[in-house]
Amino acid sequence: MNSKGSKKVYIRTFGCQMNERDSELISGMLRDDDYDITEDIEKADIILFNTCSVRQHAEDRVIGNLQKLKTRKKKNPDLKIGVLGCMAQRHGEMLFKEYPQVDVVVGPSNIYDIPKLLIDGKTEEKTLAVKNKKRPKKGPTPEYRNGTFSAFVNIMYGCNNYCSYCIVPYVRGREVSRPKKEIVKEVKMLADKGFKEVMLLGQNVNSYGKGQTQKVNLAELLEAVNRVKGIERIRFTTSNPKDAEKSLFRAMRDFDKVCEYLHLPIQSGSNKILDLMNRKYSYENYVRKIDLLRSMIPDVGLSTDILIGFPSEKERDFKDTIKAMEEIKYNSAFIFKYSPRPPAMSSFLVDDVPEYIKKERNTELLNIQKKISHAKNKELIGTEQEVLIEGKSRMSEKEMVGRIRNNTSCVVKGDDSLIGKIVKVKIVGTSPFTLKGELEADLFLSGE
Ligand code: 5AD
Ligand code: SF4
């Protein structure tokens, strides 16, 4: 398998937005090298899984997919199978032993080597690339992007926080910020191509700039990106509450393109659990930040992650989490059941909350959040909002769906011609998670 040319590559992504962006980069590098990218796994000569290790369930899905390929690989030894991303870094060589159908294993900090590995690595020589623990600040910058109006932009890689439950520092390495100049250059290039929205990505964007020779923080980066002509919306994710500061809230308030939306994972409402999680903030401390943010931007959209069933989570700890949700009233929340991730520190604690309790707590929180989300959405009825239309609604052929600035989904009557446009709507109704908007006199704010 040494030639590329007409080789067809299928890439499937598991996990977070950083992985989505990595897959897009890999796809771009391979396109630049004359590979064909296919959506059809059956037609592929090379199958790449860009994997996630955040929970056991994420890994199980990849393993299921690898198992399905076993007979196909036996029948066609020329088929090349690659495991990329977080699972590759976490399990390394073991993947070749357990799943001999796998040819290439490449960790997240080594993805720039993929084109070379696909040429050099012969089928009979398994290739393991997990050596780089830290992602190089600079890499190839293929032009290819998945979309036409909204793009992910990496601003930093890795994480230094070591929350006790989390695999990320072990698989994505130490924190590295990309230089501000490089990021702004990329955003300008996107604006020139007609992109309207950028989502700045990092594991903890609030510590952007730390350890750089040129002193710069997230607020200053936002200011620079805000100046890029053509870009109309700026989002960023994900934030660690311990580092979320007034300078960021001020940037969100003062820079017109920065959307009024913050994803601020609380994980638990119990100080005992937060301490065991090594989160480095207390519930009171977290709420003070939310109060400050809401006093500066009253209509800010807030979402969170909650991790239930962490070792030693008792009923009273869970009650604290319920209380937190009821007090803070997020617009939306992602709820996850704890799973131990060796070598992360909490894997040394006994996973003592039984699965059925995790399930019960999960369902209870989902029900509470559904009511809160519905109530928050009802508050928006009668208001005017701007919606960036993303595509067709899943519910109706005649409706399109997009997001208002606070990140809530909103459906609007219309057709494909609205995709990528920002339209002004009046909110006329809502379901628990989706607003209904009416176009205001077909008045486009942009996109002509
Ligand atoms: N088990 C379950 N959920 C986890 N998360 C991180 N690590 C684990 C784990 N070991 C959740 C956290 C994080 C989100 C991306 O995934 O809530 O914010
Ligand atoms: Fe999954 Fe975390 Fe890796 Fe993203 S960084 S793919 S969430 S393990």
User: What string of DSSP letters covers 115-143?
Assistant: HHHHHHS-TTS-EEE---SS--S------
Q: Check if the beta carbon of residue 448 is closer than 8 Å to that of residue 399.
A: no
- Rounded distance between C-alpha atoms, residue 312 and residue 314, angstroms: 6
Q: Assign residue 192 a region: left if phi > 0, alpha if psi is -120 to 50, beta otherwise?
A: alpha
Task: Report which residue type is found at 85.
Answer: G
Q: Are strands 176-177 and 156-157 parallel, antiparallel or unpaired?
A: antiparallel
Alpha carbon distance 92, 104 (integer Å)? 10
- pLDDT of the residue at 125: 75
Average pLDDT over residues 280-284: 98
> Which residue matches tokens 């053509």?
230
Atom of ligand 1 nearest to the CA of 167: 7
* Pair 28, 143: CB distance under 8 Å: yes
- Residue 210, both tokens: 């730390």
Ligand number, closest to the Cα atom of 90: 2
Sheet holding 261-263, edge to edge: 261-263, 301-308, 332-337
Question: How far apart are the CA of 162 and the centre of ligand 1, in A?
Answer: 12
Protein residues with CB under 6 Å of any ligand 2 atom? 15-16, 18-19, 52-54, 85-86, 167-168, 171-172
pLDDT at 190: 98
Taking only the tens place, the pLDDT of each residue in 161-215 is: 999 999 999 999 999 999 999 999 999 999 999 999 999 999 999 999 987 777 8
Give, to the nearest 10 degrees, the angle between helix 315-328 and helix 355-378.
Answer: 10
Q: Which amino acid is at 437?
A: G
For 72-128, write each residue's pLDDT tens digit. 999 999 999 999 999 999 999 999 999 999 999 999 999 999 999 988 665 567 899
Is 114 within 8 Å of 26 (Cβ atoms)? yes
Which residue type is seen at 152? F
**By mean pLDDT, which of 131-145, 217-231, 282-296 is the weakest?**
131-145
Does residue 262 register a pLDDT over 50? yes
Ligand 1 atom index nearest CA of 337? 2
- Residue 136 pLDDT grade (very low, low, confident, very high; cuts 50, 70, 90): confident
Residues 362, 336: Cα–Cα separation, whole Å:
7
54 Cα nearest atom in ligand 2: 8
Q: Whose CA is nearest to atom 14 of ligand 1?
A: 305
Cis amide bond preceding 100, omega within 30: no
Whose tokens are 């710069």? That residue is 216
Q: What is the DSSP letter of 243?
A: G
Counting ligands in written order, the one closest to the CA of 346 is 1
Residue 336 Cα to ligand 1 midpoint, Å, equals 6
Mutate to test the pocket of ligand 2, among 16, 22, 50 (most ligand atoms within 8 A of CB): 16
**For residue 133, how many other CB atoms are within 10 A of its CB?**
15
Please tell me the number of the ligand nearest to residue 203's CA: 2
Lining residues, ligand 1, CB within 6 Å: 54-55, 165-166, 265, 267, 305, 307, 336, 338-339, 341
The Cα 166–Cα 340 span in angstroms is: 9
Measure the CA angle with vertex 436, ends 433 and 441; round to 5°. 155
Model pTM? Answer: 0.94
C-alpha 168 – ligand 1 centre gap (Å) = 10
